[in-house]
Amino acid sequence: MSHYFSEIFTGGKSLLVGLGVTFKALTSPVVTVQYPREKIDISPNMRGHIDLIKDSESKNGLHRCISCGLCARNCPCSCIVVKGEKQEGVKGKVLKIFTLEFSKCSLCGLCVESCPTSAIDFSDEYELAAFSREAFNFDLLKRVQQGDTK
Ligand code: SF4
Ligand code: SF4
């Protein structure tokens, strides 16, 4: 008989403890974000793919890249292609091609660190999904020309 009452007591206690946990969860602040309708602020340390930084005060009025190719040479994954051309009446080279094969990038940051003009930085792009690797071949010059960069 005493075993019967002890079982009832243990069951009742367990029920109350369980309800306590439920009530605590009900009254605590909601931390779940209803993505993609809601989005949280991205950390400044976030490393998305690299991008040319927009700079309207630069020599060409668009970006600070001088086509030196240091970033491409320092990239351990060989995923950057930079090409510049000499143009009549213009000092230095004019950037013609700046592409990134992001599917190969390890986000190591060597390109960003080695750039002598601080022309590139990590973007905060994280909504990247595609069905082919080619979709991750980015034309970074076009992106900055179209105003798609920060
Ligand atoms: S972050 Fe590293 S791997 Fe990616 S492009 Fe720059 S140097 Fe290459
Ligand atoms: S290192 Fe900087 S300036 Fe040189 S090509 Fe790369 S982005 Fe341009």
How does pLDDT run across 23-49, given as a tens digit for each residue? 999 999 988 899 999 998 989 999 999
The pLDDT value recorded for residue 117 is: 97
The pLDDT value recorded for residue 141 is: 97
Q: Choose one of 58, 64, 82 to mutate for the ligand 2 pocket test, by most ligand atoms within 8 angstroms of C-beta.
A: 82
The pLDDT value recorded for residue 86 is: 93
What does the block give as tokens for 15?
Answer: 């029920």
Domains of the chain: which residue ranges? 1-31, 50-145
Only one residue has tokens 């940051």, namely: 109
CA 64 – CA 70 distance, rounded (Å): 14
Residue whose CA lies nearest to ligand 2 atom number 8 = 65
The pLDDT value recorded for residue 89 is: 85
Is 81 close to ligand 1, i.e. is its CB under 6 Å away? no
Query: Residue 144: nearest ligand to its CA?
Result: 2
Residue whose CA lies nearest to ligand 1 atom number 7 = 75
Is 106 close to ligand 1, i.e. is its CB under 6 Å away? yes
Is 67 close to ligand 2, i.e. is its CB under 6 Å away? yes
Q: Choose one of 47, 108, 113 to mutate for the ligand 1 pocket test, by most ligand atoms within 8 angstroms of C-beta.
A: 108
Atom of ligand 1 nearest to the CA of 80: 5
CA 70 – CA 147 distance, rounded (Å): 24
The pLDDT value recorded for residue 148 is: 84
The pLDDT value recorded for residue 149 is: 84
The pLDDT value recorded for residue 71 is: 98
Q: Which CATH number fits domain 50-145: 3.40.50.2000, 2.60.40.420, 1.20.1250.20, 3.30.70.3270?
A: 3.30.70.3270
Residues of the chain with pLDDT under 70: none
